[in-house]
Amino acid sequence: MKCPACRVPMYVAEYRQIELDLCGQCEGVWFDRGELSLLLGDDRPLAVTAAVSEEATRTCPLCDKPMDKVNIGPDRRVVVDHCPQDCGLWFDATEVAALTGELDAAGWGLPPAVFDFLREMFPAKGGK
């Protein structure tokens, strides 16, 4: 699978039997639908809210469709890319940092299990 931002092959990191795809160049993170389902024990689509963003449109690394910008952070501060066919979620490196920088899980538009997993996977970045 290729990074939606840099178009180079991504590598895979597995922790607690959940895998993420990572880009070695931009340090962006792909959270695959299959892995989200494994983590949540549920294959319903994620409930996301559409966002407006100046950020460049990225295409889904799986289905090649342009991805939607969605809000997941408290106060609508964090915007990530979500595949319209629900193949998965894409976090740019700064978005991962914003995610892990917040101490409180409240107010995040992500299921708690997903939030907690990401916090565990990226513990150190930009913490307060």
Partner 1 sequence: MWEQIAANRRKSIGLVISAALLLGALGWAGGEYFLGQGGGTGGVLIALVVWLVMTLAAWFQGDSIMLSVAGAHRVQKEDLPQLFNVVEEMTLASGLSKMPAVYVIDDPAPNAFAAGRRPENAAVAVTSGLLRTLDRDELQGVIAHEMAHVRNRDIQLMLFAGVLAGAIVILAETGLRGMWLGGGRSRSRRDGGSDGNGLVAILAVVLMILAPILAQLIYFAVSRKREYLADASAASFTRYPEGLASALEKISRAPQRLGGATSATAPMYIINPLKRNGQMAANGTSTHPPIDERIRILRSMAGAGFADYDRSYREVTKRGGVIPGSALKDAETGQTARSTGATPAPSTRENARKVDDFFYRRDGYRKVECACGTTLRIPADFATPAAKCPRCGALHDLR
Binding site for partner 1 (CB under 8 A): 8-15, 17-20, 22, 24-25, 27, 29, 32-34, 37-38, 41, 43, 45, 62-63, 85-87, 120-124
104 vs 74: CA distance, rounded Å: 9
Beta strands in 3-127 (DSSP E): 11-15, 18-22, 29-32, 49-50, 68-71, 79-82, 88-91
- Rank residues 76 and 116 by Cβ distance to partner 1 and give the closer one: 116
CB of 33 to partner 1, least distance (A): 7
Per DSSP, what are the bridge partners of residue 31? 89
Q: Which amino acid is at 124?
A: A
CB of 15 to partner 1, least distance (A): 5
In degrees rounded to 5, what are phi and psi of residue 117? -65, -45
- Rank residues 11 and 57 by Cβ distance to partner 1 and give the closer one: 11
110 vs 85: CA distance, rounded Å: 18
CB of 114 to partner 1, least distance (A): 15
51 vs 37: CA distance, rounded Å: 23
- Rank residues 34 and 74 by Cβ distance to partner 1 and give the closer one: 34
- Rank residues 2 and 53 by Cβ distance to partner 1 and give the closer one: 2
CB of 30 to partner 1, least distance (A): 12
